[in-house]
Amino acid sequence: MFYIVGERINTSRKKVQEAVVNKDSAYIQGDIKKQQAAGADFIDVNAGARIGYEKADMEWLLTVIQEVVTIPLCLDSPDPEVLEMAYGIVKDSPMINSISLEKERYDAMVPFLKEKDCSVVALCMDDSGMPESSQDVIERAGRLVKGLEGIGVRRESIYIDPLIQPVSTNTTKGIMAMDAVREIMSKFPGVHTICGLSNISYGLPQRRIINRTFLALLMCAGLDAAIIDPIDDKIMAVLKTTEMLMGNDEYCSNYLKSVRAGQIVS
């Protein structure tokens, strides 16, 4: 199964920030319903854009979202205090986005994650910066898996993010991510891999075709989760077509259902 984390509820998006400022719960709840209907498995909630208001904005968003949401949330914050508050509000076991190997962030997140019932996005970032090679990603993934399992997080709850870097700065960055995903999925059975896609196309025109084609290639390499906009019909069409071609759509039934719903157009 491929897990879709819907990325739309983020106060860095203009309409979401306006809704938060104006306490427009109808807008937020409408967006949640759309993401659910489109097939999201988690809804990411990020309230980080208004400096000084993250905790209050997150609390308001979660309270409003809880009234309509039927799937788990992905609590997106680097601040354990915000996450503790958020964890207390949500009903379903959430995904936490994210921990990394940066010492300060790692040390701050560990006490929060200990004995919590949640899954966690783990970024292959450390204090030396972004990974330089697929071997580098794999080594960092190993440290994350070991560290998280050491504090009681089950392997099946770990979503490793290899960190996608722009192909415009170095043509090997696409292959590097594919190789890393393939190796992580084979070396740490049970672990998930996840990523956002948009960094791959940074600096290039017509970015959406790059992002969705890269999603297909990463799925071929074993990626089993992505943070995307489930309302984007074109990326969802590629996702569902790829799932079918990878043998994960019995009788092609999800594909056919999406075609009948007008969501997949040649």
- Contacting residues toward a second copy, per CB under 8 A: 167-168, 171-172, 174-175, 178, 200, 204-210, 213-214, 216-217, 220-221, 234, 237-238, 241-242, 244-252, 255-256, 259, 264-266
Smallest distance from a second copy to CB 181, Å: 11
Smallest distance from a second copy to CB 256, Å: 7
Give the residue with the Cβ less far from a second copy, 22 or 171. 171
Give the residue with the Cβ less far from a second copy, 115 or 251. 251
Q: Is the peptide bond before 258 cis (omega within 30 degrees of 0)?
A: no
Instruction: Kindly list the strands in the beta sheet with 225-228, ordered across the sheet, starting from the edge strand earlier in the chain.
Output: 192-193, 158-161, 119-123, 95-100, 73-76, 42-46, 3-10, 225-228
Smallest distance from a second copy to CB 183, Å: 15
Give the residue with the Cβ less far from a second copy, 89 or 259. 259
What spatial distance separates the first Cα and last Cα of the chain, rounded to whole Å? 24
Pairing of strands 119-123, 95-100: parallel
Smallest distance from a second copy to CB 63, Å: 36
Smallest distance from a second copy to CB 201, Å: 9
Give the residue with the Cβ less far from a second copy, 140 or 173. 173
Phi first, then psi, for residue 180 (nearest 5°) are: -65, -45
Q: What is the residue-wise DSSP string for 71-117?
A: S-EEEE-S-HHHHHHHHHH-SSPPEEEEEES-HHHHHHHHHHHTT--
Smallest distance from a second copy to CB 135, Å: 16
Give the residue with the Cβ less far from a second copy, 51 or 265. 265
Which of 153, 159, 120, 117 has its CA nearest to residue 141?
A: 159
**Residue 237 burial (CB count, 10 A):** 18
Smallest distance from a second copy to CB 233, Å: 11
Give the residue with the Cβ less far from a second copy, 101 or 226. 226
CA distances from residue 51 to 22, 55, 98 in whole angstroms, order as listed: 17, 10, 19
Smallest distance from a second copy to CB 156, Å: 23
Give the residue with the Cβ less far from a second copy, 52 or 262. 262
Give the residue with the Cβ less far from a second copy, 148 or 210. 210
